[in-house]
């Protein structure tokens, strides 16, 4: 996962875990390799 923030490219690996029931996604959990970069991507 990556983005351009403040003129710089940032990226990190992310594992996504999904829960489905009856073909409908109920929840998704994201586990980034680098939480600081992940938060930069989403502007936190």
Q: What is the dihedral of CA 9, 31, 40, 4, to 10 degrees?
A: 20
The pTM for the full model equals 0.66
Higher pLDDT, 8 or 28: 28
Report the pLDDT averaged over residues 8-35. 94
The residue range of the domain holding 22 is: 2-41
Instruction: Report how far Cα 6 is from the mean position of its chain's Cα atoms.
Output: 19
Number of domains in the chain: 1
**Is 80 exceeded by the pLDDT of residue 44?**
no
């Amino acid at each position: 996962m990556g983005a351009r923030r403040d003129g710089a490219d940032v990226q990190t690996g992310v594992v996504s875990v999904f829960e489905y029931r009856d073909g409908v996604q109920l929840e998704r959990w994201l586990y980034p390799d680098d939480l600081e970069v992940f938060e930069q991507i989403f502007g936190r």
